[in-house]
């Protein structure tokens, strides 16, 4: 039987591969830097669980100053609440009967808050909450330009908020607007201009609600790429950044983000074959690496490029010079998208000074329901 814990205390290159590694010093520094920033502004940090999907990391973020967590899925929220965290936002729509039943059950053990963008859903949650005798905290998701979920800013949002305010067992808390269409734009000026102009739609909507006698306590949005743009808007009360905890090569190239946070995540690979001098094959394929943001590349090796991934193989090519890699040698690969990459693995190996310090189960891995 494979016993992951037996590697604690060993050098990272002794790990069986493929293995997902966290550089603990870098992760802790990222958590601290983000927490320090949020001590300087009005908004608070509510880090996104979707990146790490692991309660111990949420607890570290909260210990550093975060007010609670954001989740993408009910299954993530359940894992986090079971670990003892109460203040949880599901920044997503929970719509089917069975899921709403799970939501109101979770409210017995947490101060769960959920996003809505349509009246039918408001009524369904209200009825289920009343039957269970709980109150569900609600944010209206407003479409500020991403064109994913969300009602239109202005009158449509006002009407939905009014409906929530008169629905039994619901507490209207405020508005959420996620600027996902610009959050990873590498150009700082473009990102800032789009974010500030789109967030203005959320702010004007807040003012409209207040003019109509509705108190807007929470204004939530933001991601890693806009932590200090959305985070510095006085009207915003919460930022949902997630990727900053690990980073990846995509966010590493985003101006103003890559300079601030280090890449903590890597996938340890073993060379399984070198059929030709220029072709090196490793044991990390599509089942342990994601590539929707591009093919991940080896860390710290010049002249070597990963050119393709099949299910269980990664193909590397020498681009210049020579490299002394041979079968059974190890190398580390930097993910291009930390959030989806994590979801392919069962556990992290926490590394400090090259030694395995901890093994953490990725509890909410695959909890997409
Ligand atoms: C609703 C929501 N909030 C925040 C984020 C921010 O995530 P990140 O920090 O990875 O940019 C995301 C990313 O997908 C999201 O969907």
Give strand pairing partners of 359: 349
Nearest to 164 by CA among 143, 137, 142: 137
Residue range 236-255: mean pLDDT, rounded = 98
18 vs 349: CA distance, rounded Å: 11
**DSSP assignments along 55-99, one per residue:** HHHHHHHHHTT---EEESSHHHHHHHHHTT---EEE-S---SHHH
pLDDT of residue 87: 98
Regarding the beta carbon of 91 and ligand 1, being less than 6 Å apart is answered yes
344 vs 233: CA distance, rounded Å: 36
Residue range 110-124: mean pLDDT, rounded = 98
Average per-residue pLDDT in the chain? 97
pLDDT of residue 5: 93
Residue range 54-59: mean pLDDT, rounded = 98
pLDDT of residue 320: 86
CB burial of 17-53 (b: ≥16 within 10 Å; e: otherwise) equals: bbbbbbbbebbbebbeebbebbeebebbbbbbbbbbb
Can you tell me whether residue 101 is helix, strand or coil?
helix
258-296 pLDDT tens trace: 999 999 999 999 999 999 999 999 999 999 999 999 999
**Cis peptide preceding 18, ω within 30 of 0:** yes
Structural domains of the chain, with CATH: 7-20+261-361 (2.40.37.20), 25-245 (3.20.20.10)
Instruction: Report CA 205 to chain centroid distance, whole Å.
Output: 26
The angle, 0 to 180 degrees and rounded to 10, between the axes of the packed helices 155-165 and 119-132 is 20
Say if residue 321's pLDDT is above 90: no
pLDDT band for position 102 (50/70/90)?
Answer: very high
Regarding the beta carbon of 194 and ligand 1, being less than 6 Å apart is answered no
104 vs 112: CA distance, rounded Å: 9
pLDDT band for position 2 (50/70/90)?
Answer: confident
Say if residue 194's pLDDT is above 90: yes
Helix runs in the chain, H state only: 24-38, 55-63, 74-82, 97-106, 119-132, 155-165, 188-211, 249-252, 338-342
pLDDT of residue 1: 81
Residue range 312-331: mean pLDDT, rounded = 95
196-228 pLDDT tens trace: 999 999 999 999 999 999 999 999 999 999 999
13-48 pLDDT tens trace: 999 999 999 999 999 999 999 999 999 999 999 999
CA R_g for the chain: 22
Residue range 158-168: mean pLDDT, rounded = 98
Relative to beta strand 113-116, strand 136-141 is parallel
**What ligand 1 atom has the least distance to the C-alpha of 183?**
11
Q: Which of 69, 144, 183, 238, when mutated, tests ligand 1's pocket best, judged by the most ligand atoms within 8 Å of its CB?
A: 183
Regarding the beta carbon of 225 and ligand 1, being less than 6 Å apart is answered yes
Q: Which of 37, 50, 293, when mutated, tests ligand 1's pocket best, judged by the most ligand atoms within 8 Å of its CB?
A: 50
> What is the Å distance from ligand 1's center to 108 Cα?
27
């Amino acid at each position: 039987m494979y016993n992951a814990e037996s590697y604690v205390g060993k050098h990272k290159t002794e790990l069986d591969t493929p293995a997902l590694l966290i550089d603990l010093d870098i992760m802790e520094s990222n958590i601290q830097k983000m927490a320090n920033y949020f001590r300087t502004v009005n908004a608070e940090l509510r880090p996104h669980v979707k990146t790490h999907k692991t309660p111990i990391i949420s607890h570290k973020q909260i210990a550093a100053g975060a007010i609670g967590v954001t989740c993408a899925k009910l299954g993530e929220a359940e894992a986090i609440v079971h670990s003892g965290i109460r203040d949880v936002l599901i920044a997503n729509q929970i719509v089917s009967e069975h899921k709403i039943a799970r939501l109101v059950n979770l409210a017995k053990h947490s101060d769960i808050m959920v996003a809505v963008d349509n009246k039918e859903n408001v009524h369904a949650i209200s009825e289920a909450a009343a039957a269970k005798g709980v109150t569900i905290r609600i944010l209206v998701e407003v479409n500020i330009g991403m064109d994913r979920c969300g009602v239109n800013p202005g009158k449509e949002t006002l009407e939905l908020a009014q409906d929530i305010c008169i629905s039994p067992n619901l507490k209207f808390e405020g508005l959420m607007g996620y600027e996902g269409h610009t959050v990873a734009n590498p150009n700082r000026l473009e990102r800032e201009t789009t974010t500030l102009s789109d967030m203005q739609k959320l702010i004007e909507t807040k003012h409209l609600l207040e003019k109509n006698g509705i108190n807007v306590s929470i204004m939530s949005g933001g991601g890693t790429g806009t932590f200090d743009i959305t985070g510095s808007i006085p009207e915003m009360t919460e930022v949902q950044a997630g990727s900053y905890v690990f980073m990846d090569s995509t966010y590493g190239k985003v101006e103003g983000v890559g300079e601030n946070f280090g890449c903590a995540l890597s996938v340890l690979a073993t060379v399984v074959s070198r059929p030709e001098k220029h072709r090196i094959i490793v044991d990390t394929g599509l089942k342990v690496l994601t590539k929707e943001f591009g093919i991940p590349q080896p860390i710290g090796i010049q002249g070597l490029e990963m050119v393709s991934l099949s299910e269980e193989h990664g193909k590397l090519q020498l681009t210049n010079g020579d490299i002394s890699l041979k079968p059974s040698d190890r190398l580390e690969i930097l993910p291009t998208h930390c959030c989806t990459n994590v979801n392919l693995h069962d556990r992290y190996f926490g590394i400090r000074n090259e030694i395995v310090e901890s093994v953490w189960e990725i509890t909410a891995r695959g909890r997409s329901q």
